[in-house]
């Protein structure tokens, strides 16, 4: 683990902080006088040494939204009132987007929506955030502002609620899901005992959350490098409903796949369940569900010994399906390696027939033609793709 001083130096020398477009925004918003600071993910990830690819950034400011818009206009920076009712204005300078939010204090909350007022107290703003590692601010010159002593938690990869966990959750119950997501992405899948107990107590109160908000958290979790242990813990405390076998299958998939994917994990979760019910529960996109279903179908063919057919029918999904198939079929890494070798050596040609060929053979358009074309395709696949066009045409049933 790096020392706190090493982490502070890392922040001072962060490439993103020196980018001219960001400095232009900070100058416009009095960043060099401490009135506007970077906050949240970009600060946390820099201190922890996590890679950063996005040019988007979150800023906290003492300035009111109207003042932010006025100053941006004077500096020739585009502004958009993307969340003006919550004190948020988005600024665009070059390729950089900065979401600028005025310091806030909670007045009241119902667990889904908070009533806030604008303020100028940085500590109060920090205290209304979720976890200590997200309440870290960076000045325009790279100086860390840590009002809640969260740097230690950040460097120790400890996901700890700010203040009383149950109160933080009552303010916004989505924080239960965020606790588990951050424990997977930034906490090495270790769970702060006090936070975990608060999540367990809140598990029966999450139904008021919208499916879209929950689904966003779940899909982000499914895309992480390692998350099986987290999903198992969520199931254990009642936050997530998964059949008993799923956590073990998800863990096996992570062990067998060099690059575990969101679609592969979703395919495992969907296996044996109603895909439509899962899609509705988490408001998943049609595209994501379709990809997971294709991966699951490819895995099913692989477990039937039909790797060639899986490669032909699902070329985009078959590689990931090799690990999914092994996880679902309780197969070992040796078989996965063998299937990958076979897959790498496999050349899948294009099916040499079309409906037009059958029409030229005298078949009439309609259902019978489609059935016959499917039968011929099956013959071709079962031959290991060796039957050529002439041989297939010779097999046409009139």
Per-residue pLDDT, 108: 59
The CATH code of domain 162-241 reads: 1.10.110
pLDDT value, residue 368: 92
Q: Which fold has domain 253-345?
A: Methane Monooxygenase Hydroxylase; Chain G, domain 1 (1.20.58)
**Strands of the chain, DSSP E:** 36-39, 57-61, 78-83, 88-93, 96-102, 104-109, 114-118, 137-138, 144-145
Fold identical between 1-156 and 253-345? no
Task: Give the domain ranges of the chain.
Answer: 1-156, 162-241, 253-345, 355-394
* CA distance linking residue 371 with residue 363, whole number of Å: 12
CA 264 – CA 357 distance, rounded (Å):
37
Alpha-carbon distance 213 to 230, whole Å? 19
> Taking the domain 1-156, which CATH number applies?
3.30.460.10
Q: pLDDT truncated to tens, each residue of the chain (398 aa)? A: 789 999 999 999 999 999 999 999 999 999 999 999 999 999 999 999 998 777 789 999 999 999 999 999 999 999 999 988 889 999 999 988 999 999 987 665 554 555 567 888 999 999 999 999 999 999 999 999 999 999 999 999 999 999 999 999 999 999 999 999 999 999 999 999 999 999 999 999 999 999 999 999 999 999 999 999 999 999 999 999 999 999 999 999 999 999 999 999 999 999 999 999 999 999 999 999 999 999 999 999 999 999 999 999 999 999 999 999 999 999 988 999 999 999 998 888 899 999 999 999 888 899 999 999 999 999 999 888 889 999 999 889 86
The pTM of this model reads 0.89
**DSSP state letters, 196-250:** HHHHHHHGGG-TTS-HHHHHHHHHHHHTSSS-HHHHHHHHHTTSS---TTHHHHH
Q: Give the Cα-Cα-Cα angle 345, 386, 307 (nearest 5 degrees).
A: 45
DSSP 167-190: HHHHH-TTHHHHHHHHHHHTSTT-
Beta bridge partners of 209: none
């Amino acid at each position: 683990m790096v020392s706190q001083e090493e982490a502070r130096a890392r922040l001072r020398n962060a490439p993103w902080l020196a980018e001219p477009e960001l400095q232009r925004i900070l100058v416009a918003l009095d960043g060099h006088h401490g009135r506007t600071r970077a906050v949240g993910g970009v600060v946390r990830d820099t201190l922890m040494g996590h890679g950063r690819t996005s040019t988007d950034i979150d800023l906290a400011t003492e300035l009111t939204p109207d003042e932010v818009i006025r100053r941006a206009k004077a500096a020739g920076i585009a502004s958009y009132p993307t969340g003006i009712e919550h004190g948020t204005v988005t600024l665009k300078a070059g390729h950089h987007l900065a979401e600028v939010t005025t310091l806030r204090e909670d007045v009241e909350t119902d667990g889904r929506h908070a009533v806030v007022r604008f303020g100028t107290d940085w500590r109060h703003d920090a205290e209304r955030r979720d976890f200590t590692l997200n309440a870290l601010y960076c000045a325009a010159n790279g100086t860390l502002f840590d009002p809640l002593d969260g740097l230690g938690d950040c460097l120790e990869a400890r996901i700890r609620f700010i203040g009383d966990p149950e109160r933080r959750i009552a303010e916004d119950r989505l924080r239960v899901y965020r606790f588990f997501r951050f424990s997977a992405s930034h906490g090495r899948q270790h769970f702060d005992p006090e936070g975990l107990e608060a999540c367990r107590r809140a598990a029966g109160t999450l139904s008021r959350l919208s499916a879209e908000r929950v689904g966003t958290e779940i899909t982000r979790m499914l895309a992480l490098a390692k998350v099986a242990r987290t999903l198992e813990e969520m199931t254990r405390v009642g936050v997530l409903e998964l059949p008993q076998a799923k956590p073990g299958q998800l863990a096996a998939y992570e062990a067998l796949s060099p690059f575990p994917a969101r679609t592969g994990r979703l395919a495992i979760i969907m296996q044996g369940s109603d895909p439509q019910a899962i899609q509705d529960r988490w408001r998943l996109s049609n595209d994501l569900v379709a990809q997971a279903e294709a991966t699951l179908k490819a895995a099913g063919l692989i477990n039937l010994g039909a790797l060639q057919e899986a490669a032909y029918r699902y070329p985009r999904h078959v590689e990931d399906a090799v690990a999914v198939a092994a996880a679902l079929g309780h197969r070992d890494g040796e078989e996965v390696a063998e299937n990958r070798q076979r897959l790498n050596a496999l050349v899948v040609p294009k099916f040499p027939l079309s409906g037009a060929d059958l029409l030229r053979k005298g078949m009439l358009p309609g259902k019978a033609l489609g059935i016959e074309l499917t039968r011929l395709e099956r013959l071709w696949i079962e031959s290991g793709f060796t039957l050529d066009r002439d041989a297939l045409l010779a097999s046409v049933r009139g």
